[in-house]
Amino acid sequence: MASMFKRLSQGLRPALAAALLTVAAYAAAVELREDHPDTYVVQRGDTLWDIAGRFLKRPWLWPEIWQANPQIQNPHLIYPGDVISLAYLNRVAVQEGPRQEAPVNAIPLSEVEAFLKDLRVVDGFDHLPHVVGLEEDRLRSSKGQVAYVRGLSGAQPGQRYLVVRPSLRYTRLDRSGMCCDLLHKDDLDFRGRRTLDFHQYWTNVVTPDRGHELLGYELVKQTTGTVTRGEVGGIEAATLLLDDEGREVRVGDRLIPVEAQPYDLQFFPHPPKQQLEYGRARILAVADSLTSGGPRDVVVLSVGARDGVDNGTVFSVWREGSNVVDRVEKGPDREADTVSFDDKVRLPDEFAGHVMVFRTFDKVSYGLVMESVKPTRVGYHLKHPDAPY
């Protein structure tokens, strides 16, 4: 295929090459599974991704097929009881069912609900009020107990706040001229300051952080509370009654006003809108795990809205190819650390699976692993879902 395009570029007009690329892209968009059913009745509990996978080799291209179907009023929404059929070549149609239930989503909301409601990524939190003490000088407090908050000057009884905890700090170190950026996930102590990591400390010493960039701080909701007394009578802390079930509160937790946080409840899979530089888009963290996850696990991605990423964006996940010593050429006893980087052999990246974004912030995003052939690990690369290597 590569040689064919090379010959075309040398001998044919650019318009012909562009036309061939358009045809190739269209063929890929409508490529059906050989074992696809002729019809399928949507069931409760189905996901759009799973249904698309019954018909298409590339489930993330499902919306493109629906959008080409003019008789469907809303090409994205299908419901339990709907009958999906191949109405004509490489196109699907729907026979509406009773439509008495909620529409089918691309992913199970139960898997991501906590990440939609209870997590957010911000650029800073030092300006937020913080818990300075707890009832009876406790180490932890929960529902029905009170916390004392500094920085709520002017707060009035009845005002409600979320108690959140800065948990992680995400950063990127730009290494111009090298393969990839360095991406860090730092744990934070009770004050929200990063804990000392000797491995990253020496990495930063060896690689100066001239290109250091903060990607954001992850705030985790602990519970909610209501102000019962402000800073009055010479008291320098407001009183907050913890009034909701949740995680325990400790000194150092922060407060933000209770307000509606808009987030999507419907997700429609699609490829990235733009090509990202190799090494820029990576797995930053795996939720509730140290380094690896599998299908239906939530992962944090090092790209966000500023990189053209939005909810529904699908990436393929790849393990970066190793750089190895050619021991046939260098000798069987040659130690790897005695061979320069340029003299090593770069092996191909290895495909691991696909991930779909469901919550987007400016510089990072949350995604759900949709399918995988091997574990998805911290540091793995993200590419176009159709990337061949």
Determine if residue 73 is left, alpha or beta; phi over 0 gives left, psi from -120 to 50 gives alpha, anything else beta.
Answer: alpha
Q: Which two tokens stand for residue 364?
A: 């990072």
Q: What percent of the chain has pLDDT over 70?
A: 81
For residue 334, what pLDDT band results from cuts at 50, 70 and 90?
confident
Query: Residue 120 class from Cβ within 10 Å (0-12 exposed, 13-18 middle, 19+ buried)?
Result: buried
Q: Which of 4-18, 103-117, 159-173, 286-300 has the lowest mean pLDDT?
A: 4-18
Q: What stretch of H or E contains 8?
A: helix 2-11
SS (H, E, C) 78-108: CCCCCEEEEEECCEEEEECCCCCCCCCCCCC
Q: Hey, what amino acid is at 367? A: G
Instruction: Tell which residue, 250, 3, 261, has the closest CA to residue 134.
Output: 250
Q: What is the DSSP letter of 115?
A: H
| CATH 2.60.40 applies to domain 14-95 | no
The residue among 44 and 175 whose pLDDT is bigger is 44
The DSSP code sequence of 246-282 is: -SPB-TT-EEEE-------S----B--SSPPPTTTSB
Fold of 283-383: Thrombin, subunit H (2.40.10)
268: CB partners within 8 A, 6+ apart: 48, 62, 63, 76, 106, 312
The DSSP H or E segment spanning 370 is strand 365-372
Predicted confidence at residue 175, as pLDDT, reads: 60
Res. 120: pLDDT tops 70: yes
Higher pLDDT, 95 or 74: 95
pLDDT tens for each residue of 225-263? 999 999 988 899 999 999 988 899 999 999 999 887 777
Which stretches within 12-80 are classed as H helix?
14-29, 48-55, 62-67
Contact 381, 281 (CB under 8 A): yes
Q: Supply angle C-alpha 388, 91, 384, rounded to 5.
A: 20
Give CA–CA dist 264/313, Å, rounded: 13
User: Residue ranges per domain, the chain?
Assistant: 14-95, 116-257, 283-383
Distances (CA, A) of 124 to 216, 218, 258, 312: 7, 10, 18, 27
The sign of the torsion formed by the CA atoms of 2, 3, 9, 12 equals negative
Band (74; pLDDT cuts 50, 70, 90):
low
* Strand partners for 161: 225, 257
Higher pLDDT, 158 or 77: 158
How far apart (Å, rounded) are the C-alpha atoms in residues 245 and 224?
8
Q: What is the mean pLDDT of the chain?
A: 82
Q: What is the pLDDT of residue 375?
A: 95
Is residue 94 within 8 A of residue 82, CB to CB? The reply is yes
pLDDT in tens, 179-232: 666 777 888 888 888 776 555 544 444 444 456 788 999 999 999 999 999 998
